Amino acid sequence: MEWIVSGKTLLTKIQDKTAVIGVVGLGYVGLPLAVEKAKAGYKVIGFDILPNRVEQVNQGINYIGDVVDEELKEIVNNGQLKATTDYSLIAEVDAVAICVPTPLDKYQQPNVSYVESSAKSIAKYLHPNMLVVLESTTYPGTTEEIVQPILEETGLKVGQDFFLAYSPERVDPGNKVFNTKNTPKVVGGVTPECTKVAAALYRSVLEGEVHVVSSPKVAEMEKILENTFRNINIGLANEMAILCNKMGIDIWEVIDAAKTKPYGFMAFYPGPGLGGHCIPIDPFYLTWKAREYNYHTRLIEVAGEINNEMPDFVVDRIMKILNRYGKALNGAKVAVLGVAYKKDIDDYRESPVMEIVKLLEKYNADFVTVDPHIKNFRVDGKEYETVPLTDELLTSADIVLITTDHTAFDYEAIASKAKVIFDTRNAMKGVQKIEADYEKL
């Protein structure tokens, strides 16, 4: 087959919606992106290594909270979206986005093996006039230092034969206002033509602004800055919470007072620890990369230490509260309300509750977990099942620990039935009368 190699050719396909789009990785980032591209009128092929996930997509069965069930069924039924484990079909696409996980290993170092594997799969079927966009959150330099060399091993050259860019994912599970479609997008290509083509594709799909930057490194660093900003400020809120507890001050009242200032202050809140794929992990990509330049990101590392120690602080508080009643944590009945890392979602990736569960196991507590959005979860290979929130559970528990402020929890019932409550989310703030012994973080 003869290919015409020019940005204009691919731009034309983008403009008339004849381009075939691929999405590698159909998780929290990839599936919503694939759905939006299909809704925009493109034929989309989703790639994933998990056969069960591929089967669910092809049956129109949704497993991601930010995707509307009916929309997924419609675009699957009309042939706009199909999923496969057969990566040879990448040969059929004109543009492909890489949306695979980038976790940390046990040494807090970036694991980019999924990105490398995806790039190698794409390289096998890379063809002229093709666009490749990395969306996975990673350290500055990944696109040009890892993905580009793998793709250029084919003999094709970026900016001449194919286009390569980085556009960081921005996903906030459970957000009722901002989603994949209306959140502004940042795009940085290896060459100006790469940027132009990638930006054109996103503008044809999304409603939010597409903000162009000068290089993939800028876009990669921008994403790290977003999440490091939140990590550090939450770390500050957590440290203030620890100090306020020692001083007998209500940190939640302090924050409410501070946020009345109309300038120079942004409210961040303490909690039992950080959760989700981004905020607890992304800053460590930068601390790792900074060592290459003989620089230590001290502020980031200290914030990470504070946030990582919050589950220990929570369990220590539980011990002190139980001690007032002459009880040890060993054998105490603890009802843990919430497994998800934030309210009203079913995502427990990096949830601080995982560490709290391990600590409760360590101290031989008799605990149960409650989460209306999660039926079961795994911690270090062990599976746990959640239980319903009942009056009997509340009255029998030695202490009720609120770790996620789900809307579905009946806080009035909790306030009237529980004997002792430790609230790490200020979830009971709207309850007028709390009969239990009640403490907040």
Which residue among 99, 194, 244, 278 is the active-site one? 278
Element of type H or E holding 376? strand 376-379
Tokens of 76: 């699957």
Backbone dihedral region for residue 212 (phi beyond 0: left; psi -120 to 50: alpha; all else: beta): beta
User: Does 278 participate in catalysis according to the annotation?
Assistant: yes
Alpha-carbon gap, residue 280 to 273, rounded angstroms: 9
Alpha-carbon gap, residue 404 to 291, rounded angstroms: 36
Going by the DSSP 8-state scheme, the letter that residue 91 receives in this structure is: G
Whether the Cβ atoms of residue 311 and residue 351 lie closer than 8 Å to each other: no
CA-based Rg of the chain, rounded to a whole angstrom?
Answer: 24
Tokens of 108: 């807090």
Strand partners, 370: 337
The type of residue at 3 is W
Alpha-carbon gap, residue 385 to 357, rounded angstroms: 12
Whether the Cβ atoms of residue 403 and residue 425 lie closer than 8 Å to each other: yes
Element of type H or E holding 225? helix 216-247
Whether the Cβ atoms of residue 223 and residue 248 lie closer than 8 Å to each other: no
> Can you list the pairs that 100-107 forms with residues at least 24 positions away whose Cβ atoms lie under 8 Å?
100/24, 100/25, 100/27, 100/30, 100/136, 101/25, 101/27, 101/136, 101/277, 102/136, 102/137, 102/138, 102/281, 102/285, 103/281, 104/281, 104/284
Nearest residue to 403 (alpha-carbon basis) of 434, 369, 364? 369
Among all residues, which ones are annotated catalytic? 278
